[in-house]
């Protein structure tokens, strides 16, 4: 099946610094990529949807200036958490979809962010 990777797997940073997380589709071209945040034993919270070459669409309540998303190519999207604070500590998961809404969404393994 299709593979989606994330890098890094985990990251620890100091408060106030910025962290970039990469999401790659390894064997298909992802027209659309999604970024989620997951709290323990809870549903995935959609943060934003990005289409290659265009600006990301952010969900209500998600600060676009704090969570910068770049979908520069059909195989790569990045999420940058700017000026990170301890409350940003979470498990960030990306997913990628090749075609339209009916297509399968493939999920990445997640990136665990801890902000000290």
Partner 1 sequence: GQNIDQPTEMTATEGAIVQINCTYQTSGFNGLFWYQQHAGEAPTFLSYNVLDGLEEKGRFSSFLSRSKGYSYLLLKELQMKDSASYLCAVLDSNYQLIWGAGTKLIIKP
Q: How far is the CB of 66 from partner 1 (least distance, A)?
A: 20
Structure tokens at 84: 């990170």
Residue 77, strand partner residues = 23
- Count of residues in contact with partner 1, rule CB under 8 A: 23
Q: Which of 13, 44, 74, 76 binds partner 1 (CB under 8 A)?
A: 44
- Using the rule CB under 8 A, is 105 a contact of partner 1? yes
Residue among 74, 87, 109 nearest 39 (CA):
87
Ranges within 2-31 binding partner 1 (CB under 8 A): 2, 9-10
Which residue among 11, 13, 45, 62 contacts partner 1 (CB under 8 A)? Answer: 45
Q: Where are the beta strands (DSSP E) in 8-115?
A: 10-13, 19-25, 32-38, 44-51, 57-58, 67-73, 76-81, 90-97, 105-107, 111-115
Near partner 1 by CB under 8 A: residue from 79, 110, 113, 115:
110
């Amino acid at each position: 099946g299709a593979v989606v990777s994330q890098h890094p797997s985990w990251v620890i940073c100091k408060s106030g610094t910025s962290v970039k997380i990469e999401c790659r589709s390894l064997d298909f071209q992802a027209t659309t990529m999604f970024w989620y945040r997951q709290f323990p034993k809870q549903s995935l919270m959609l943060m934003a949807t990005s289409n290659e070459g265009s600006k990301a669409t952010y969900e209500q309540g998600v600060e676009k200036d704090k969570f910068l998303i770049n979908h520069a190519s059909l195989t790569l999207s990045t999420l940058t958490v700017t000026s990170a604070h301890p409350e940003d500590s979470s498990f960030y998961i990306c997913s990628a979809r090749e075609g339209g809404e009916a297509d399968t969404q493939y999920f990445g393994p997640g990136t665990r962010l801890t902000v000290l």
